Every structure is written in structure tokens, then in C-alpha cells.
Amino acid sequence: MTPELGQLALILALLLALAQGVLPLLGAWRGNGALMAVARPAAAGQAVFVALAFGVLSWAFLHFDFSVRYVADNSNLALPWYYRLAAVWGAHEGSLLLWIFILNLWTVALAALSHKLPDVFVARVLGVLGLIAVGFIAFILFTSNPFERLLPMPPDGGDLNPVLQDPGMTFHPPVLYMGYVGFSVAFAFSIAALLGGELEQAWVRWARPWTNVAWGFLSAGIVAGSWWAYAELGWGGWWFWDPVENASFMPWLVGAALIHAQAVTEKRGALRAWTILLSIFAFSLSLLGTFLVRSGVLTSVHAFASDPKRGLFILCFLAVVVGGSLLLYALRAPKVAGGKPFGVVSRETAILIGNLMLTVAAAMVLLGTLFPLLGDALNLGKISVGPPYFGFLFTLLMIPIVLLLPFGPYLRWGEKGGLPPLKNVAVRAGIAALACAIAAAFTTGWALKAIAGTAAAVWCCVGTLLYVLKRWREMPAGRRYPAEMAGMLLAHFGVGVFLAGVLLTEALSVERDVRMAPGQVQTIGGYDFRFDGVHVADGPNWQGDQGTVTVMRDDREIAVMHPQKRTYTRGQVQTESAIDAGVTRDLYVALGEPMDRNDPEGAWALRLYHKPFVRWIWAGGLLMMLGGFFSAADKRFRLRREATEKLPASAQESHA
Amino acid sequence: MNPTRKRRLTVVLLVLAAAVVAIGLTVFALQQNMNYLFTPSQVQSGEAGQYKTFRLGGMVKAGSIQRAADSLKVTFTVIDASGAMPVEYNGILPDLFRDNQSVIATGRMDNARFMATEVLAKHDETYMPKELKDAMAKAHQGKTINEAAAQDKPR
């Protein structure tokens, strides 16, 4: 009975979403206040019913209701409760339910925090979000119903895919979806602005904090995914340029461009049309990401069994969203280039170059990701595009950004002639980068990537710190670092940390697959790894072999590591790597396979890795995430009404 | 030419040059890194001859996996309905690698043997990559593929 309640709740949510999507937009068009007022209650009601459906599914998982097909497929009696809860979004149907649930969270937050905005505008934004919700709830109900019954009811269920049984995986999808779905808010703002013809700066200021938060979540989600791949897939890589990873990376790139373009539009009025276009792209790429992951059209290490009908639905949805919004854009986008003019050496120019590089990078990733589909359609054969394509082009495209990054805060809006301070910065950061690069050259034995990484990281970090110092000296206490600026500085510093992590790891990692008999010692990166054999270990829903590897340096014991090879209840095999984490290096051990199946106590194939500075990659990503959150918290964004009133001239023009 | 026009011309030329460089680099990078997928029977009929590295897709022949006693060298045979190709790999095979499993190996030919540098099997035991299924279907139209390998449906 209960699962049907969930189904019913979803149907009611669909009806409310229809009301939320259609009536307020009509009201805004006709100037009917009553219809516009439907938006908030409809959004709240929809959120209640979706939450109910989500709760019902979670309840079914927690209480082993195997009469629900989705529950039976993805959990069993032996699965611990926390993974049963995570299993709610462990496969297709539930993850879509999570998607829509998060969309509702965003919508409700927006409805609650938007009382200071004009009613017409709010009605349009919530209406657009309602339409998106209609699409997704219909998708769930018609193609991927999580409450479908399975009769007769099996005594025990299947299993949650073992690679998903990991703490990293429990929070990776929700956080990633917070980011994906968050871009729908920026998208709704842009569409509302196009519909209302409000192409002045005001709406951009309202949209900015939402975009920043969404981008922050997306950064966190990608970091979590990368870390999970590192720890769980068992071969110690942190990024594979895999289609599914690219799917989350493209909206991130466009989102990064978007938050910078929004700043220009808000402060200077320039690049308005571009900002709107970017928010359409960011959301479309989020949808494309969902499509790529869920349709299985591309070969991916993350791909799961899938259903072509679903892919078709998302593809149609995507066509409607992209086509519709681009049509609207073509009809309503500002025809005349607006905003204040800017000189060649100005913050606008720097941001524009950065934007260009980020969007071209996103286009490049899109081309590489979809190229196999293209090749298939043109009958070129079965093609895949190797990771070096992405690595090579992405590095080239990011060089200008890295070079410009320290100057960003020093450059002034619009003005010409800010050269002298820039020279100072360039000289100081340049000397620091050069000195550290030379030091790196001698300590790493002229590893080119390590030298480049050190130089680039020091260049970014020192450049950013110099600006921190300048503010500290020149501004009175309390006004030194407004949240918006603090966020920017944190994120830019994060870029430096990230660069150091990536290039040093790439240059200095030692990865060795070896055959080891118990007692044997291998020396890697100055550490002695002693293999102490394998014995049997059991978990709640798996049996496994657990190896013991003792790591020593200069005869001092550093770590005792326990990599595992697990066999889950349904026979799926899963490698659990053992990682000894550190600030300057990770030690990584994974069990390969026994050399002789009949003698698991004997010799094994092992992966032994020494990965210097690998944590810095994720630390950099987390700093960028913090940057997004900090910026969004700026007081300026909260004093909206007052701020609008102080700009009567421009604001009124827009409403005229 | 007046100064405004001159400036615009410079901008247009710069944009054009940048676009040409960008497209050139992209095409170059794509060409360098495109990998084609072939099944054993396609390789044996010579279709892969012109490519130095390519991907070999098919099923692991039951009972063909053989390990060296003193190193990580492993040999196995990848088959489709009408062809078979011996593969040699040095390293650790993925968790889901076993008999009758669909795999994709990247590497090059060395005489009649495929030297793999990377072997992929999938997360999900019932999953078969769409491109592999298509390639195998194309390689032997009209013939049936082993049922176990052909199933690609939601669990």
C-alpha cells in the first residue's frame, strides 16, 4: 500500500508543478496578481509531495520492501542501513527522484528568500522552475517509476552495485545534483528576464548568489566524484576524461565563465546578452550531463545498464529546453550592445579573455565527448577519443587564464592605464615563481611538469596573496575583505593549489604493478613496502581477502595497510584500496589477483603507488567551492531592495 | 583606410587567425587520439591494418586465460562469433575480467598477437557497451551472438 502512496504523491506533485509552471506565467503576462500568487503555494505543495514520495521510497528501502522492484534490485537483507539509504539514489529511478527533490529544495529556498523582489519577476522565475519540474516528474512517472511493483515478491533482493558501497558515493550524487540543478535557478532568472524584457542589471544581482552557490556545490560534487574514483575504482587515477566525468565538467566550466560574466553585467551593464546565453548553456549542459549518464550512448567506465527509451525522452526534453530558450533569446535578447565602455587594460577585458577560454574549453570537451556519436552517425566507424586530446587542448586553453589570474583583482573596471601596479605584481610574483621553479628543478631532477606546476602554482598563489597584503595595508579594519572579494581570492588561491596538485602528482607519481610473495619487499619513492600475506576477512554483506602491507622508511614503520578484495553476495568482485593519506604524499596499495587461484595465501599481484601532493588537487577544488559560497554570502546581495532604489534611473528605464 | 576601419580589420584578422589556430590544433589533437574499435574477425579480415593502435572488443574465450608463473604477464583470447585473437597483457586485470566477459582492450598488433596496454571490463556485470554490441552485430550480420554477451538490459 505504502509504495502506491509514493506514486500518488508524485502524481499530485506533477499536477501542482503544472499549476506552478503555467498559472504564474499567465498571470505575469496578463498582469493578474491572483494567478501570480499561485506560484509560492504551488511550489511549497509540490515540494511536500515530492518529499513524501522520497520519504516513502527511503522507508521501503529501510524496511526491505522487496515487492518494490527498485528496492529489490538495489538492496538486500545484508546491506547495512546507511547503504540502504544511499541506495535510494544508487540507480536510475531513485537518482531522478533525488534530482527533482533537489529542484524542489532550490525552488522553495527561492520562494522563501525572494520576498524583496518584484512579484512579476518572482512569478516568472518560479513558473520556469515549475515547467522544468513538470518535465522531470513526467519523465519519472512515464519512463522510470521507482514505485513499480515486483510480483511475486522475492525473499531477498539483489544488491547495490558494490562500487557504490562507499562513504564517498553516499554524498557524491546529492552534492553534484545540488550543483546541476542549481543552474536551473540561474537559467530561470535569465528566462524570466527575457520574458519580461528586464535587461538591466538589477536581475543579475539577484541571480548572482544563486549561481555562485550552485557552482560551489558543483565543484564539491566533482571533487567528491574524483576522490571516489581515486579510492574506489582501484587504479589510483583522479580524472580520466571519461564521458561521465566530462558531463559534470562542462557545466562547471560554463558556470565558472557565467559567475564572472554576471559580475561584469551587474557592475557595468556590459555583456548582458552573453550572460543570458551562458546561463542557458550552463543549464543545457547540466541536462545533457543527465542524458549522457543515463542513456548509455557512450562507452564509459561509469556507464551502467540503461534503457534507450529514457534517453530519447531526455533528448526530446533537452531539445525543447535548448530550442525554446534559444528561440526566446533570439527574439528578445538585447539587440544593442549595452553597458559602459571599457579600455583594453581593464577588468572587463581580463574577464572576457577568461570567459572565452572557459567556453572554448567547454566546447572542446563537448566535441571530444560527443565525437564518438558523431563518428557513428557519419559512419566513420567506432571511434573513441583518447584522454591526451583533452589534456593537450585543455592545458593550452588554460595557460592564458593562469597567466592573467594574479592581475584580476588589481585591474579596475572600465579604466585604462592601470599599468604600474600590474608591473609590480608581475615582477614580484614572477620572481617568486622563478625561484620556486628553480628549487623544484633541483629537487625533482628536472621533471618538466613539476617545474611548470610549481611555477604556475606559485605565480597564482603569490599574486593572490600580494593583493591580500595590499588590502590589509590600505584599507581600515572591517572593510578589508568583503565576502564577495574574499570568495574571489579564496577561489583564485584554490586554482594555484589545484595546479600544484595536478602537475606535481603527474610528474612525481610512481605507480608499479608487481608480483609479490609474502615477506617480499619493494621500494617505491623511498618507501619500503613489505607484503605480509593475505588472510580471509568478512564484512556484513561480503566475504573477502584482506592483504597486509607494512610500509617502512629508514627502518621506521610508517603505516600498516589493509587492501581488500571483496566478493559481494551476488558474486560481484570489488577492490578496496588502502590509502595512507598525507599532506605531501599518499601511499596507495590495491590487491590485484592471486597468482594462483588455489593458493590465496601465496603470491599476489599488487598495485603499489606513491602519489605526491595528490590531496592538493581536491584541496584546490574545495577552496574553489568555498570561494563560491563566500561570494554568495556578501551583504550586498541581501540588501536588494535598497540597492535597486538607489539606482532609480537605470531601474526605471528597464520597467518602462 | 580610416583608423576605425583599420582597427576593425585588425580585430577581424586576429579573430580569424585565432580561429584557424584553434581549429588546426583541435583537428590535430583529434587525429592523434582517435581510437577505432574492431572485433577479432574485423581485425583478421584486415580492416585494422592501417591503424597503429586501436581497440579490440569482444568476449573472453572460456578457459583461455593463462598467467605466467613469475611475472604479471597474462594471455587470453578474445573472440566474436567468427574470429579469435590472442591477446597479451602485462599488468593487473580489472575486477570484472573473467571468462565470457565482454572486454575492450587498447593496444597494437605484434605479428598475429594483440599487445594490450589497457584492458577494460565494466562496472556492471550485465552491461555491454553499446558500441561493442553494434560492432559485433556488424561484424557478423545474420549470425547470432552468444546470448550471455548480448544482453544489455536494465537489471
Give contacts of B55 with chain A, Cβ < 8 Å: 382, 384
Which pLDDT score is estimated for B154? 33
Position B153 confidence tier, pLDDT thresholds 50, 70, 90:
very low
Q: Is the dihedral of CA A169, A170, A176, A181 positive or negative?
A: positive
CA distance A369 to A385: 8
Determine whether the interchain pair A595/B69 forms a contact, defined as Cβ–Cβ distance below 8 Å. Answer: yes
B25, B93, B155: residue with CB nearest A393: B25
The helix (H) or strand (E) run that includes residue B55 is strand B53-60
CA distance B137 to B139: 6
Determine whether the interchain pair B33/A385 forms a contact, defined as Cβ–Cβ distance below 8 Å. Answer: yes
**CB distance A627 to A256 below 8 Å:** no
A303, A306, A383: residue with CB nearest B36: A383
Determine whether the interchain pair A381/B127 forms a contact, defined as Cβ–Cβ distance below 8 Å. Answer: no
Which pLDDT score is estimated for B152? 37
Along chain A (656 residues), what's the average pLDDT of each consecutive run of 10 residues?
A: 88 95 92 90 95 94 90 86 88 88 94 88 94 92 87 81 77 88 93 78 85 95 90 79 88 96 88 90 90 65 56 82 92 70 82 93 92 80 84 92 90 72 86 91 86 94 92 85 92 95 91 88 90 88 88 89 86 84 90 80 88 94 95 78 43 36
Determine whether the interchain pair A572/B37 forms a contact, defined as Cβ–Cβ distance below 8 Å. Answer: no
Which pLDDT score is estimated for A53? 95
pLDDT tens-digit readout, B10-51: 888 998 998 899 889 888 888 888 888 888 888 888 877 778
The structure's pTM equals: 0.89
Which residues contact residue A587 at a Cβ distance below 8 angstroms, ignoring those fewer than 6 apart? A527, A529, A551, A558, A559, A561, A579, A580, A609, A610, A611
Determine whether the interchain pair A371/B135 forms a contact, defined as Cβ–Cβ distance below 8 Å. Answer: no
| Mutation choice for B interface testing from A384, A513, A573 by most B CBs within 10 A | A384
**CB distance A98 to A61 below 8 Å:** no
Phi, psi (degrees; rounded to nearest 5) at A454: -60, -45
Write out the three cell numbers for A197: 524584457
pLDDT tens-digit readout, B67-98: 887 778 889 999 888 888 899 998 888 777 87
Determine whether the interchain pair B96/A381 forms a contact, defined as Cβ–Cβ distance below 8 Å. Answer: no
Which pLDDT score is estimated for B134? 67
Annotated binding residues of B:
123, 127
Determine whether the interchain pair A299/B32 forms a contact, defined as Cβ–Cβ distance below 8 Å. Answer: no
Decide if B135 touches A, using CB distance below 8 A: yes
Write out the three cell numbers for B12: 577581424
B72, B152, B153: residue with CB nearest A605: B72
Burial class, A52, CB count within 10 angstroms (exposed 0-12 / middle 13-18 / buried 19+): middle
How far does A70 lie from chain B, in Å, by closest CA?
Answer: 9
Determine whether the interchain pair B25/A306 forms a contact, defined as Cβ–Cβ distance below 8 Å. Answer: no
Q: Does domain A1-160 have CATH number 1.10.3470?
A: no
Which pLDDT score is estimated for B119? 86
How far does A443 lie from chain B, in Å, by closest CA?
Answer: 30
Considering chain B, what is the average pLDDT of its residues? Answer: 77
How far does A121 lie from chain B, in Å, by closest CA?
Answer: 38
CA distance A647 to B54: 62
Give contacts of B133 with chain A, Cβ < 8 Å: none
Decide if pLDDT at B142 tops 50.
no
* Partners of A528 in beta bridges: A523, A552
Beta strands of A449-596 (E only): which ranges? 510-516, 521-524, 527-538, 542-553, 556-561, 564-568, 573-576, 578-580, 585-594
Which residue of chain A has the CA closest to B124? A304
> Which domains are seen in chain B, by residue range?
37-121 (2.40.50.140)
Which pLDDT score is estimated for B148? 36
Which pLDDT score is estimated for B143? 41
Task: Domain ranges for chain A, please list them.
Answer: 1-160, 162-408, 409-506+616-622, 510-613
B22, B36, B154: residue with CB nearest A305: B154
| Mutation choice for A interface testing from B93, B130, B136 by most A CBs within 10 A | B130
Which pLDDT score is estimated for A297? 64
Decide if B30 touches A, using CB distance below 8 A: yes
Phi, psi (degrees; rounded to nearest 5) at A267: -85, -30
Give contacts of A163 with chain B, Cβ < 8 Å: 123
Determine whether the interchain pair B127/A305 forms a contact, defined as Cβ–Cβ distance below 8 Å. Answer: yes
How far does A513 lie from chain B, in Å, by closest CA?
Answer: 6
How far does A356 lie from chain B, in Å, by closest CA?
Answer: 12
